[in-house]
Amino acid sequence: MSVRASYLVVGADSLVGGGLLRALERRGHTAFGTTRRRDSVTNRRVFLDFESEDPFIAPPDVGYAFVVAAATNYDRCETDPLAYKINVELTPRTIASLLNQGLFVTFISTNSVFGGERPWPQEDDPHDPKISYAIQKHRSELAVRKAASALDAEGRLNIVRLTKILDPSTSPLASWFQAWRRGEPVQPFSDLIFAPMSIQFVGEALAILGEKRVPGDLHLSGADNVSYVDLALALAEKLGFDPGLIVPTTATAKGIHIAFKPRFSGLGMTRTTQLTGIHPQKLADVVSDLTVEA
């Protein structure tokens, strides 16, 4: 085995981190994860808290780190100064340290940095973040790039922006599946647009990016901008439930405040596809993955 062939997933307790670890292991790699939960630490699950002043040293055989962990809650990003500090100062500080240790680093970002008013923004398009979470991720990207430039390590950094990721437990899917099994209707929102991907697709695609070591900005996206009604109809059809169990409504009609309500959610993947062969995930494939065990 070559030197430093192992992978590190910073944020193994997250949705994306868990899916990525499973994919790396499925593809035959040795992969370590990090946790900030002391009681979860094992040989393969090492402690890392961005807030800790103790320097983090990657396990010796690790040559590639995915930095997935973040303060992700939209409301927390609006109100808690610590969320800003974690995203904009402490995460880039850890990435600078990982680059300084000679690792190739992937920093995970989000489609929300583009603001949602333009269809299919490409990897190098300008940002227009609107909500605090998106502004913080935009500033993290700038700080991470600056750190890489100062270390002359831009060739060992990529920033991978993702659209919405789903697994069967993601809200509101689990409650839809339960309702349908009881023969009860669900009320998905027609005014909430997204370009979903399955966690299986995202884990596998990130693992491939880790094998290919392509620097620069990359995107992973669903191939379709759809509403939650479109997704519910596709899921019900796949599972053989009556489409009459889907009663469309809107977040507006329900009086529910949605912090990020983009007109367009999908990301352009032209550069990513050219360099890696990875294509956007079609809705039918998202639905297949979501219904494997439903």
Ligand X SMILES: NC(=O)c1ccc[n+]([C@@H]2O[C@H](COP(=O)([O-])OP(=O)(O)OC[C@H]3O[C@@H](n4cnc5c(N)ncnc54)[C@H](OP(=O)(O)O)[C@@H]3O)[C@@H](O)[C@H]2O)c1
Which residues in this chain contact ligand X in the complex, by CB under 6 A?
11, 13-16, 36-37, 48-51, 68-72, 86, 108, 110, 137, 162, 164-165
Query: CB-wise, 36 or 261, nearer to ligand X?
Result: 36
Query: In 3D, which of 19, 11, 288, 48 has the Cα closest to residue 165?
Result: 19
- Given a contact cutoff of 8 angstroms between Cβ atoms, the answer to whether 67 and 107 are in contact is yes
What is the nearest approach in angstroms of ligand X to the Cβ of residue 54? 12
Take residue 114 and report the two structure tokens written for it. 């583009």
- Contact yes or no for 1/7 (Cβ under 8 A): no
**Cβ contact 222:253 at 8 Å:** no
CB of residue 165 to ligand X, shortest distance in Å: 4
Please state the closest distance from residue 266 (CB atom) to ligand X, in A: 12
For residues 226 and 167, is the Cβ–Cβ distance under 8 A? no
Q: How far is the CB of 59 from ligand X (least distance, A)?
A: 17
Nearer to ligand X, 18 or 188 (CB): 18
Quick one: 165 or 192, whose CB is closer to ligand X? 165
- Give least dist CB 247 to ligand X, A: 25
The per-residue DSSP string of 169-203 comes to TSTTHHHHHHHHHTT--B--BSS-EE--EEHHHHH
Sign, CA torsion 142/134/266/11 = positive
Residue 106 buriedness (CB in 10 A; 0-12 / 13-18 / 19+):
buried
- Residue 162 or residue 223: which is nearer to ligand X going by CB? 162
Residue 86: CB minimum distance to ligand X, A = 5
Q: How many residues does the chain have?
A: 294
Q: Which residue is nearest to ligand X (CB)?
A: 14
Kindly tell me which of 134 and 148 has the beta carbon lying closer to ligand X. Answer: 134
CA neighbor of 164 nearest in space, from 286, 12, 41: 286
Instruction: Work out how close the CB of 36 gets to ligand X at its nearest, in angstroms, rounded to a whole number.
Output: 4
C-beta closer to ligand X: residue 49 or 285? 49
- Return the SS3 of 294: coil
Task: Tell me which residue has tokens 């669903």.
Answer: 222
| Complex with ligand X: residue 148 or 199, whichever CB lies closer | 199
The first and second tokens of residue 289, run together, are 């993955």
